[in-house]
Structure 1
Amino acid sequence: MIRRNELKYTSVEICAGAGGQAVGLHNAGFKHAALIEIDKDACQTLRDNTEGNPEWEGCRVIEADLKIFDSGSLGLESGTLDLLAGGVPCPPFSAAGKQLGRDDERDLFPTMLQLVHDLDPKAVMIENVRGLLDPKFEQYRQDIIKQLESMGYEKCYWDILEAKDYGVPQLRPRAILVAMKPKYAQHFEHRKPKATKQVSVADALEDSMKARYDAAAAGPRADEAFKKWYEKALKGVAPTVVGGSKKHGGADLGPTRAKRAWEELGVCGLGVANEPHQMKDMERDLFAAAGPKLTVTQAALIQGFDDDWKFSGRKTAAYRQVGNAFPPPVAKAVGEQIYAAFEAAEV
């Protein structure tokens, strides 16, 4: 992704994961003061990509449990931060879980709202699963909006953004809340970003898949397998990439229904392949009956990461980070809206 805006507005992000939202907001023009995350592998990913990188100068990666985190340790004077962003945990609202909402101990909305109170940023951006916008959580949403209003914020929108509408070759609907102080909200487009050109799985993976087959040095067989995959992958976008949890097995591309959707695109969902330089089983990784398996790097491309963003940890841990990420292009689209409102307020 190309960053066109100057890095002139500050941000702090909670539940930063492996950096999907951080990358998107960075490319929208936000300069991160801190990325806060509890998972050690994800924190290492953030450090590996930001430390020593002039683009990310001044960004602190903080490994911490938000429930006991002291916002004073950030060293930010209240009211000076431009944007507080974060993807609070999804399980309390996910259709795949019990949807306990406020009764789920993993619900970090109260923690996020306390940070809003303490830091008093100009804008707030919160990302979650689409299930949060289900009717059963209407009262919970209203409570959150009332709390934000009591702290001087105006809701700009709380809507579902579909990743495929923003150049991500994947079906991944996310619920996005944007709230701003009235001075800035009056300049904000009170609607979700306009959709952009759709990208197919073939568009996203053509170069990397060709490189994998070329590395296999299997002659005509590799050429034929690549062509077969490419023709299928042109059909459209992928199902949702899932990271799973640490409690459940190794990495694969999701439940049975998702695996069938991947197979329609020429991809085998029964596991994740090794990177080309680590490939040990060519038949398993490239020539399965359902098609090639994806590498972690390719799964990241499906999420909208650039291929220079590297993931720390062993294959399963790295894939989990990718699968749980927020697609950078979606974060960038929202970030650019917030950035534009800030700029308009300066005139």
Structure 2
Amino acid sequence: MSNHLKSIELFSGAGGLALGMAKSGFHHKMLLEFNRHAVDTLIKNHDDGQAQIKDWNIKHDDIKNISFKKYKGKISVVAGGPPCQPFSLGGKHKAFNDRRDMFPQAVRAVREARPDSFIFENVKGLLRKNFSTYFEYIILQLTYPSTTKREDEDWESHLSRLASTKGRGLKYNVVFRLLNAADYGVPQRRERVFIVGFRSDLGVEWSFPKATHSQDALLWEQWVTGEYWKRLSVSKSDRPTSAISQLASRLQNKYGLFQPKEKPWVTVREAIGDLPCPKNANIFNNHQLKEGAKSYPGHTGSPIDEPSKTLKAGDHGVPGGENMIRFNDNSVRYFTVREAARIQTFPDDYHISGAWSECMRQIGNAVPVRLAEVVAKSVYSAIAANVTF
């Protein structure tokens, strides 16, 4: 896309969302990140001249210190992934009682910059039933960002006032959806909530892009036609043992003679199969073997012929089971940092800085580049049709 719409990004992390947005045509005026290790990754790629990041303005600061008023009327999108630990299935579930809840700061950025749109991403846990009222509060704040919380007001009272507002002042039309990255060609089962809004005066009607890939299409290629194994030159001895006839028969009963219309889910084997064995010296950055992977109940790794499990980042390092590859002989090893970056669809010339555990934390926190690109491209098209360059 030749015309670049301008954007700012909050809570940039290692840059997955930012890379996807850049690939879709947005031009970042600022990337804001507080974590020093993630900033090291951003600056390393910037200084190395990585094609997409080399012109970005990277700011290492706390969002609470930043005013966004200078961007008013100049920005098409405010984007970011507000820290998700308050809502994570693996966290302490404090939500609005957690000092790491950065949604109020995201709302402030929207209020001050008044962008044409915003794109925010967060964990599936945000939709948990016991957070439903607070999630409604987040959506209403983003819908009416200029109806601010008073100093003497608790969040429940503010919620009531937002719910009864007549919508005077700045307003956004907000939609949200739980997306599985595997359904959009990412080699990973990763469910995340995307919240997208367009300023109401633009009159944009928008819905999330339809899924392009499916599990059934992968199973069809594996167990009905066998095309998957042929395409990847996988010998019969290296295929998983499965109730093949039963599975094939179920799929054929469901679809008849016509295979699923979507593309197949992308597997770990497809994502990393052309990388050299990490036990040997190689020219790929971030592609060194980490020893010590073990399999035990509940900690079995990601099967090579499926999309990986969700890569995770924990408060105290990474859990490990989701960060291992399981081969069809049931042996396991840890993903290298490069392999994990491939699974998150980072480009190969993009370097992740830090020790293995820190790199995996950054990758586990990232938005898959390809999924970000799909959503952002759709938002770009909607805005480009409604604004004058």
Give the number of the structure whose alpha-carbon radius of gyration is greater.
2
Q: Does 1:194 align with 2:192?
A: no
Question: Cα–Cα, structure 1 residues 317 and 123, in superposed 2: closer, same or farther, change >3 Å?
Answer: same
Q: Does 1:67 align with 2:64?
A: yes
Between structures 1 and 2, the one with greater helix share: 1
Q: Hey, what does 2:310 align to over in structure 1?
A: 240
Query: Which of the residues 172, 185, 188 maps onto 1:167?
Result: 185
Greater displacement, 140-149 / 100-109: 140-149
Q: Within 5 A, what are the aligned runs for 1:194-343?
A: 194-196=211-213, 197=263, 198-208=265-275, 210-212=276-278, 215=281, 235-245=305-315, 248-249=316-317, 253-254=320-321, 258=322, 262=324, 264-265=326-327, 290-343=331-384
Give the AA of the match of 2:307: V
TM-superposed deviation, 1:192: 4.3
SS at match of 2:110: helix
Question: Cα–Cα, structure 1 residues 303 and 53, in superposed 2: closer, same or farther, change >3 Å?
Answer: closer
Identity %, equivalent residues: 32
Question: Cα–Cα, structure 1 residues 184 and 53, in superposed 2: closer, same or farther, change >3 Å?
Answer: farther
Contact 1:187/1:345 (CA < 8 Å) preserved in 2? no
Q: Hey, what does 1:91 align to over in structure 2?
A: 85
Contact 2:182/2:266 (CA < 8 Å) preserved in 1? yes
Contact 1:34/1:61 (CA < 8 Å) preserved in 2? yes
Q: Does 1:24 align with 2:41?
A: no
Q: Hey, what does 1:277 align to over in structure 2?
A: none
String of CA shifts for 1:230-258, please: whole Å, max 9, x gaps: xx95521111111223xx25x5634xxx4
Contact 1:185/1:341 (CA < 8 Å) preserved in 2? no
TM-superposed deviation, 1:101: 1.3
Give me the whole-angstrom Cα distance separating, in 2, the residues matched to 1:115 and 1:244: 27
Q: Hey, what does 2:7 align to over in structure 1?
A: 11
Give me the whole-angstrom Cα distance separating, in 2, the residues matched to 1:202 and 1:290: 15
Contact 2:46/2:55 (CA < 8 Å) preserved in 1? no
Contact 1:33/1:58 (CA < 8 Å) preserved in 2? no
Give me the whole-angstrom Cα distance separating, in 1, the residues matched to 2:280 and 2:96: 51
The TM-score normalised by the length of structure 2 is: 0.69
Contact 1:193/1:334 (CA < 8 Å) preserved in 2? no
TM-superposed deviation, 1:320: 1.6
Give me the whole-angstrom Cα distance separating, in 2, the residues matched to 1:211 and 1:290: 15
Contact 2:24/2:380 (CA < 8 Å) preserved in 1? yes
String of CA shifts for 1:42-99, please: whole Å, max 9, x gaps: 1121112234456445421111112333335xxx341211100010111111122232
TM-superposed deviation, 1:212: 3.5
Q: Hey, what does 2:297 align to over in structure 1?
A: none
Give me the whole-angstrom Cα distance separating, in 2, the residues matched to 1:6 and 1:266: 46
Q: Does 1:143 align with 2:137?
A: yes
Q: Hey, what does 2:200 align to over in structure 1?
A: 182
TM-superposed deviation, 1:114: 0.8
Q: Does 1:37 align with 2:33?
A: yes
TM-superposed deviation, 1:264: 4.2
